[in-house]
Amino acid sequence: MKGGGIENPAFDTPSSDFGQRYHAGPAGAGAGAGAAAPAGPGPCPEEGPCGWGPCAPRALQFCNNSEGYLVAYSLLAIFQGIVVNGLINISISTIEKRYELNSSLTGLISASYDIAFCLLSLFVSYLGERGHKPRWLAFSAFMLGLGSLVFSLPHFSSGKYQYGGKIEDTCQTAETTFANATCSASTNSPLRKYLYVFILGQLLLGVGGTPLYTLGTSFIDDSVPKHKSSLYIGVGYAMSLLGPAIGYVLGGQLLQVYIDIQIPKSTKVDQDDPRWLGAWWIGFLACFFAIWLLIIPFSCFPKHLPGTAKIQAEKIPETHDGGGQILVETNDIGQSFKDFPVALLILLRNPVLMSLIVASSSEALVATGFATFLPKFIENQFGKSSSFSATLGGLVLIPGAALGQVISGVLVSKRKMDCKGIIKFMIGTCSVALILNTVFLFAKCGNEPFAGVSETYNGRTGTLDNLTAPCNANCRCLRSVYYPVCGSDEVQYFSPCFAGCTTYLFNNMKKTYHNCSCIGKSKRGNGLEDFLYEAVPGKCPTQCKVLPLFLTFFFFAVVFTFMATTPTTVAILRCVPDKQRSFALGVQLLFLRLLGTIPGPILFGVAIDNSCTLWDIDECETKGACWIYDNERMAYLLMGISAACKIVTIIFVVMAVYFYKPPPLTKALRQKTSEKISAIHT
């Protein structure tokens, strides 16, 4: 204590012993209290050269700065996104078919990453705060690469892919077709044992992902001036969003390659065949090699980049004045693992931090929900194919999210906002996003005519909510084979079989169905007999033309939603004690998953299922996937969830502004810092 105030070693002149005092805490400061401060600033002892011990090539020193670290960090974040949020998501349906897993088991695979993240985030962020953070990221790269390798291993040990006979989609009356429709109890396939390998791979990926967004992000904040921190973090977060985009594109292309590379000559199978499975495993194997290469740059970075001591000395503290900073400094909290409960309690009692965490978790719930189900919404609402809907969803979500993070990072950096200004900025972005959320009210579509669901066959036979009618009663159609076709009467049918089609032809490589007993007169009005009873694959073209309007509004809603992401991270780093910044990010990411990313897809999935009007019910009377949805009900439910979450976000951000109290010594420290900086430059 000096002059009745709390001594903060970070604001003493950065002398030759600064690094030791900064990392050793008050004990180190007390040891040198009686010594006179050196006249000039000196480097932190742990601000070493870039290299491996005595091997420090001159060429590597060009990367020994914040820009070099940001490049390595961004590359690791990109590859993490490629694997975790790209390749796995696009490959999960192929894995489900190849290894005969049901959706609940593949859901367990998807959740395993978050399970590992939740279990480890607090411990890794706490232990790594005082550790060698670049080496923690080298460990992160090692585990991410190992997880990618393990995830691909089932392909190499499960043998060649064996597929069954081709399923006929047209009306068949033979007894052989009827045999396919009998109920057979499912048996445990030997392929299901690979479930545990996939779970292990996801757990390893979760272990590797934990240090990246806790220790990796706080290292950026350690190494750059305060006004540049938001810009660097925003760029890093924006780069991480490229990963899922690349993963979807790469995975989509690889799924066009046959799973065993060479198609067996004994049979004809193409990508239009429902038995086709793509080479899902190649992307994971490639990422394994690429990610392990990133171990090299992270292992050569020093514990602190050159100039870190000076940057830390010039920073003005903005820690919330709740007593946490004093408690951490006076008791040297965080030196050993026995301090873990006290350190966690300090953060949990910080009302500003907890308000920001709840707000960011609410936003994460909406973001992950739409990331999962936006393609399904577009597909059903606007009558587009699943692949085209996924492309549109990616074009809206990923560029919008990246743009929002970069814009907010630049604005916070250029305006040099303080902690309170950053939180107020978040109120504005969230409010605009809430207003744009009303796009669901006017950019929605009704359902197109669907035989057996929204109208009867030929307008006179059959009943609603029943796909079977006199015109297809003898076809022995399977409700588990959903292959929609559009009839010449502009009515959609569940499959060619339910449309009563008995034959098909290929005209200019396009498949058309003929002799369809359930399809009424053509509405084309050209009178040609050849076109009277026909159908073409796919859904009928929608008469709804508001898709461009919806995509435009939703794009800007995504931009303003993600404009709060980088400021939230920066505000969290500012409002907690300096020695707890990584730990605070670990706490945030734990709650983010428990309250946001894990329940988000579940809640959105329940809402979408609640709007279902036609379920897949197989021969064993088991309910499967939903085939047809009530479009208006779906739009209102998703808008309601999104609006409710954004209102919660705004409430808690306002609470953060209300609770935030800047440290009382800010003015004195500002003056003291100016004097120190002046002394350093002279």
Q: Write the CB contacts of 387 (distance below 8 Å, at least 6 apart in sequence).
A: 252
What is the per-residue pLDDT across 392-430, written as a single tens digit (0 to 9) for each? 877 888 888 888 888 888 888 888 888 888 888 989 999
pLDDT at residue 654 in the model: 92
Q: For the purposes of burial, counting CB atoms within 10 Å of the CB of 227, is it exposed (0-12), middle (13-18) or buried (19 or more)?
A: middle
| 455's tokens | 């109208």
pLDDT at residue 23 in the model: 38
Q: Write the CB contacts of 291 (distance below 8 Å, at least 6 apart in sequence).
A: 76, 79, 80, 83, 141, 144, 145, 148
Chain length of the chain: 682
**Full 3-state SS string of 388-428:** HHHHHHHHHHHHHHHHHHHHHHHHHHHHCCCHHHHHHHHHH
Name residues of the chain where pLDDT drops below 50: 1-43, 175-181, 184-186, 527-530, 532, 667-668, 670-672, 674-682
pLDDT at residue 4 in the model: 37
Q: Are 78 and 235 in contact (CB under 8 A)?
A: no
pLDDT at residue 144 in the model: 93
pLDDT at residue 547 in the model: 83
**Looking at this protein, which amino acid is placed at residue 621?**
E
φ, ψ at 506 (rounded to 5°) = -110, 115
String of DSSP letters for 557-606? HHHHHHTTHHHHHHHHHHHS-GGGHHHHHHHHHHHHIIIIITHHHHHHHH
pLDDT at residue 164 in the model: 55
Q: Are 511 and 466 in contact (CB under 8 A)?
A: no
pLDDT at residue 291 in the model: 92
The H or E element that residue 505 is part of is strand 501-507
Q: What is each CA distance from 353 to 156, 333, 486, 587, 660, in whole angstroms?
A: 47, 18, 54, 10, 9
Of the candidates 286, 307, 281, 296, the residue with the CA atom closest to the CA atom of residue 197: 281
